[in-house]
Structure 1
């Protein structure tokens, strides 16, 4: 899925984990691209989501609220959300808002995937 400022690609890892690779910028105009991609994956029965944020250049409050929403939705489905590979600008925003207390951050997307696979 794509928007002028956001691209999301998905891939399955095993039976329960999906990686959503996010590139570009998440803002009020583009957040639905990620929301729709995540909803599609959840409907397929993959309730452990990893957001690969390596290519995410910007995230405003609407993106942060979407992360919290996805965290809650996955927990309600006995899954979970992990974020991996956030660039310094995005990581700083997450830390400054104390969302790191709620969201599970990993230094790389691979580390986030490994952790999601161990969540049995």
Structure 2
């Protein structure tokens, strides 16, 4: 499956939906989308990985770039909807120590909304 990335901006955060496979041929697309995700008052980001099938290590490293960009704005990064086979790789690399994982995008949104007020 080809990589598709879409951005859904909210007032104080953005949801970046990443579907398909992040591979050497398209990892730059992911980087560009992460680096250009924020605008206005947005400080936090949710990665919607519901449709993510595969991500190369350099793509995983870009999630840390997103985390740093959010931190510079006083925000955070949450990851939602990760398939069990993909989550195993995140877990092996200790990503749960750096990111909060949620089963759904709605759960991640609810956390951001609860902590915003």
Aligned to 2:88: 92
Aligned residues: 116
1:111 corresponds in structure 2 to 107
Q: Over the residues paired in the alignment, what is the CA RMSD in angstroms?
A: 1.6
- 1:5 positional shift: 2.7
- Structure 1 or 2: larger strand share? 1
Gaps of 5+ in 2: none
Q: What is the aligned partner in structure 2 of residue 6 from structure 1?
A: 3
Structure 1 gaps, min length 5: none
TM-score by length of 1: 0.87
Superimposed CA distance per residue, residues 3-26 of structure 1 (whole angstroms, 9 cap, x where no aligned partner): x8311111123x111111111111
Determine the C-alpha separation between the residues in 2 that align with 1:28 and 1:44: 31
- Asked if structure 2 preserves the Cα contact closer than 8 Å seen for 1:50 and 1:83, the reply is yes
> Structure 1 CA distance, aligned partners of 2:38 and 2:9?
11
